[in-house]
Each structure stands twice: as C-alpha cells, then as structure tokens.
Amino acid sequence: MRGAMIYAPGDVRFETVDDAKILHPTDAVIRTAVTCVCGSDLWPYRGAEPIGDPHPMGHEYVGFVERVGSEVTSLRPGQFVVGSFATSDDTCANCQNGFQSSCLHREFMSTCQAEYVRIPNAEGTLVATDGVPDETFWPGLLAVSDVMGTGWWAAEAAEVKPGSTAVVVGDGAVGLCGVIAAKEMGAERIIAMSRHEPRQKLAREFGATDIVTERGDEGVARIKEMTAGIGADSVLECVGTSEAMRQALQSARPGGNVGFVGVPHEVAIDGQELFFSHVGLRGGPAPVRRYLPDLIGRVLSGRIEPGRVFDLTLPLEQVAEGYRAMDERRAIKALLKP
C-alpha cells in the first residue's frame, strides 16, 4: 500500500509503505475514506519537533472496516467508522471517567495518511455510523475525529456556559471548531482572535460575534475593554505557544477558565501569576471518543459543518503539497482523498 512518510523538515513523501495488518486480535484494519493534514503535523514539518528516523504520518481518519481481529465482534467489514487520534479500550478507569484519551492502553495514531490504517483496540476506539453516510458528510466526520473534537474539548475545559463570553485564541482549524463548540454550548458572545480575512469570515459564519486582530498585550487590553475591564468567562487556547498561553490566561476573568488544547511547546506557567489570576486551567489531548456519538449526530443532522475548515482538497498522493499549503498558510486544512 501507499502512504506518507516524513524524512526531514519540509520533506514529506508519498511512497510504498508496510501494509496495515492485524497485529493483535483486538485490531481492525480500515480502508481510508478521507484523511488530512493536522496543524500539529506542522511542528515536525517545520523542524520544531525532532523527527528521528523516517516514519509515517497522520492521525485523522474516517473509513470502511476492511477486516477485524478475532476478538472484534461488534464491528464488521464494510461499516463506515469514525475514530479518534488516540485509541482507547473504553473500559479502563480513565475511559469510564470520560477521559478516553488517557486510556491506560492508549496509543496515539500516527499512520493515517495512507490507503489503509491499523486501528488498535478497534471496538473501544471506533464508532460505526448507521449505514454509509453521503460523501458530502465525510469531511465533517473527519473533522470530528480530531479538530472538531478538540475544539469541543477546548470549550468544555474552558467551561463555556449559556450566556457567557468566550474568547478563542488561534484561528487554525481547531480554533475555528472551538467557535462552533462555544456557539453550540450557548456562549452569547464569541470573540475570535484572528488576523486572516478568510479565517475571520469562517469564524463569523461559525458563530463568532466579534473579531480581535490585536495580539499579545494589545490583544489582552482589547479583550479587557470588551468585557467590562475584567476579562472573559472562558478562553480557548488553540495554539500551544508561550505567547498564546500568556494571552489566554490574561484574557480570562478571575474565576474564569482557560481550556488549552494546542500541545504546549516550551510553555512554562508561572505559579504565582496563575495564583493571583484566579483562573482555572485545564488542557490535554481531547477525549474525542466520548464526544463521537454526539458530534457524529450533529454533523449528520446538518446542525454543525466543521468540514468547512477544509479549504483545500487533494488526492492523497499529493500529501506533500497539503503540508506545503498549510505551512505557507495558503490553506487552513488540507483534505486528502485516496
């Protein structure tokens, strides 16, 4: 089969790779329907994370069950399935607590920009849809497998409540999905921080009521001005840099909450600053598995359209161009079709 491999910063190749196989009786192999490039894939692509030996890439997927291991009884070949970037058995104590992305048997998916994908703990990880959804829904369901689930988690971790004010730091696909989530959770005012006109437009269409273009201290000052001087109830930090984290923490009001979902890169939080801010802080890899049934329903009913974050569609074999387009910010997010 063929799939994407990263060799070095800026060097992603589509080539023949090891076939996806059943390695454990709890595995499934799926035939990829659509996959995509994630903002977090850009960290190694930009040289901001070590790459080591050449390795496969990709952790977002929807597809058709191709075959299952001997212990998999609730899935059958031909079913259309949505998963998460983190596998889960859905039975351990952390899964039972709703934190499937901290499953005691978690593996992070990393081979999904390929024609076929092995899914560990398939029964716990995958959710099958009722029949095969119309192809127009595939991008939305693909978004649910990561960016929409992550935006939802950002809003949940930031404790967005009906009638509240939410700020979204980051206008990538996750930030834009965070806007959708804040809207669905009933935020009355949703302030998207963005400097890019096409992303501002999409943010507004997803439910943002205000756009703030300032960053850093100026961005914080602007948020304070808009929130009676005290800051927002909820801030969704969807970037993962020190600057974004500082901006998020300072934009939240005392008693407010920051949900942070960008994997932090060299971010240190000063204990005393956090203390006197009175801000609650929670982050981590999104427990997407918990949200799947609900979010799949919202997509298939047409209530939310997170698939709109894909503004570039390419054949899977042009995966390298997908990376380039996102790196150069020519695309928000690139969809790949095998």
The reply to whether 25 sits near its own copies by the rule CB under 8 A is: no
H-type helices in 113-232, by residue range?
A: 122-125, 138-144, 147-157, 173-184, 197-206, 216-226
Two structure tokens written together for 232: 């927002």
- Indicate whether 93 belongs to the interface with its own copies (CB under 8 A): yes
Minimum CB separation of residue 253 from its own copies in Å reads 7
Report in angstroms how near the CB of residue 21 gets to its own copies at its nearest. Answer: 29
User: CA nearest 117: which of 71, 85, 149?
Assistant: 85
Question: Which residue number, 242 or 318, has a Cβ lying nearer to its own copies?
Answer: 242
Q: Are strands 189-193 and 210-212 parallel, antiparallel or unpaired?
A: parallel
CA-CA distance, 48 to 331, in Å (whole number)? 20
| Candidate segments 19-27, 37-45, 99-107, 121-129, binder of its own copies by CB under 8 A | 99-107
Residue type, 190: I
- 240 within 8 A of 265, measured Cβ to Cβ: yes
Q: How far apart are CA 201 and CA 207, in angstroms?
A: 10
Does residue 284 touch its own copies according to CB under 8 A?
A: yes
Q: In the window 184-243, what residues touch its own copies (CB under 8 A)? A: 228-230, 242
DSSP 6-70: EEETTEEEEEE-PPP---STT-EEEEEEEEE--GGGHHHHTTSS---S-EE----EEEEEEEE-T
C-beta closer to its own copies: residue 131 or 271:
271
The least distance separating its own copies from the CB of residue 97, rounded to whole angstroms, comes to 5
User: Smaller CB distance to its own copies: residue 134 or 275?
Assistant: 275
Binding span for its own copies by CB under 8 A among 73-81, 91-99, 198-206, 209-217: 91-99
Q: Does 282 bind its own copies (CB under 8 A)?
A: yes
Per CB under 8 A, 254 contacts its own copies:
yes
285 is a contact residue toward its own copies (CB under 8 A): yes
Exactly one of 263, 300, 313, 327 binds its own copies (CB under 8 A); that residue is: 263
Q: What is the rounded CA–CA span in Å between residue 309 and residue 260?
A: 20
In whole angstroms, the minimum distance from the beta carbon of 257 to its own copies comes to 8
Q: Nearest distance from residue 278's CB to its own copies, in Å? A: 4
Query: Counting contacts by CB under 8 A, is residue 102 touching its own copies?
Result: yes
Least distance from its own copies to the Cβ atom of residue 271, Å: 3
Nearer to its own copies by Cβ, of 129 and 242: the residue is 242
Under the criterion CB under 8 A, does residue 131 sit at the interface with its own copies? no
Nearest residue to 144 (alpha-carbon basis) of 174, 124, 169, 116: 174
- Tell me the Cα Rg of the chain: 19
DSSP 144: H
Would you tell me which residues interact with its own copies (CB under 8 A)? Answer: 93-94, 97-99, 101-102, 104, 157, 228-230, 242, 245, 253-255, 260, 263-272, 274-285
